[in-house]
Amino acid sequence: MEEKLILDGNVVAKAVKDELKERIVGLKENGITPCLATILVGDDPSSETYVRMKGNACAKLGIESRRIHLSKETTTEELLETISALNEDQEVHGILLQHPVPSHIDERKAFEAIAIDKDVDGVTSFGYGQTALGFGKYPSCTPAAILKIMEYYGIEASGKHAVVVGRSPILGKPVSALLLNKDATVTTCHSRTQNLADHVRQADLIIAAVGKPNFIQGDWVKPGAVILDAGYNKGNIGDVDYEACLEKASAITPVPGGVGPVTISMLLKHTVDSAEQLNK
């Protein structure tokens, strides 16, 4: 079997963080500590874990992590007030609302309340629109991670046929837009797509973003395709049947250790970018 390129996200994330260290030192010399505020509403264990991981990643780089933990009884209006206060706080450079929020809260309204200059997680419709038009500063972090992995390993999008499986507002849709802006021909598939396997078989680049374990099958992959698996399911399983797809692909991201670590590093990068922008 010919040698496969395993797209190691830990290596890419380290490269991103190494570049950030110098910039953070420069900011601190000017009296500025980059600060990411994370808002967690309720007691969802997975969300608590994600917030803790993000906080730990910040601490390792010298980024301040400000955690705001609100009770599950918090109303939409109370959450909006919290976001508004963070928008006004000049020491906060990035705001992340951990989702999902409790069902009685208007999540979209809360996302839209985040100031565009502090929307480092790319969740506002304004930020999405800027990303789609090619001048967004902070695209959603997982799509940004996918593009960063491709850049690091020299994987060209231009002229390639990319098939994105999934259309969520913070993954499938924005990564489709980013790839289109890189001159790929993009097909976005979803739960209503007919003959899904036939679409995937045409892909030079496969972006798996559907949230179903082992969903993409080996016989859906044309020889030499590049696979970027953005799925993360229970048991550390991606959206791609890894062993079966590895036989066909020329390059593939593992799960874990692929897109995930780079996603967190892009969140840190966007926070440092914002600290520099807001203090120009």
CATH of the domain at 242: 3.40.50.720
Domain boundary among the residues 119, 152, 176 is at 119
Residue-number span of the structural domain to which 47 is assigned: 31-119
Neighbours of 143 (CB within 10 A): 28
CATH of the domain at 78: 3.40.50.10860
Tell me if 168 is assigned to some domain. yes
Same structural domain, 113 and 158: no
Catalytic residue among 8, 17, 119, 121: 121
pLDDT at 2: 61
Catalytic residue among 8, 98, 269, 273: 98
Q: Which of 231, 241, 179 is nearest to 205 (CA)?
A: 179
Tell me if 22 is assigned to some domain. no
pLDDT at 3: 78
What residue type is 191 in one-letter code? S
Tell me if 11 is assigned to some domain. no
Same structural domain, 152 and 102: no
Distance, C-alpha 40 to centroid of its chain: 18
198 is catalytic: no
pLDDT at 1: 47
Same structural domain, 226 and 174: yes
Q: Which of 10, 4, 2, 1 is nearest to 252 (CA)?
A: 4
121 is catalytic: yes
Low-confidence ranges of the chain (pLDDT < 70): 1-2
Same structural domain, 104 and 55: yes
Tell me if 215 is assigned to some domain. yes
Span 98-117, pLDDT tens digits: 999 999 999 999 999 999 99
* Long-range CB pairs of 188-191, under 8 A, 24+ apart, other chains included: 188/164, 189/163, 189/164, 189/165, 190/165, 190/166
Domain count, the chain: 2
Tell me if 4 is assigned to some domain. no
Same structural domain, 243 and 150: yes
Given a contact cutoff of 8 angstroms between Cβ atoms, the answer to whether 151 and 265 are in contact is no
Tell me if 9 is assigned to some domain. no
Catalytic residue among 54, 118, 173, 182: 54
Span 199-256, pLDDT tens digits: 999 999 999 999 999 999 999 999 999 999 999 899 999 999 999 999 999 999 999 9
90 is catalytic: no
Same structural domain, 80 and 173: no
Same structural domain, 148 and 56: no
Same structural domain, 100 and 163: no
Tell me if 216 is assigned to some domain. yes
Side-chain-side CA neighbours of 3 within 13 Å: the count stands at: 2
Same structural domain, 146 and 195: yes
Given 3-state DSSP classes, what are the helix, strand and coil percentages for the chain, each rounded to the nearest 5?
45, 15, 40
Given a contact cutoff of 8 angstroms between Cβ atoms, the answer to whether 278 and 32 are in contact is no
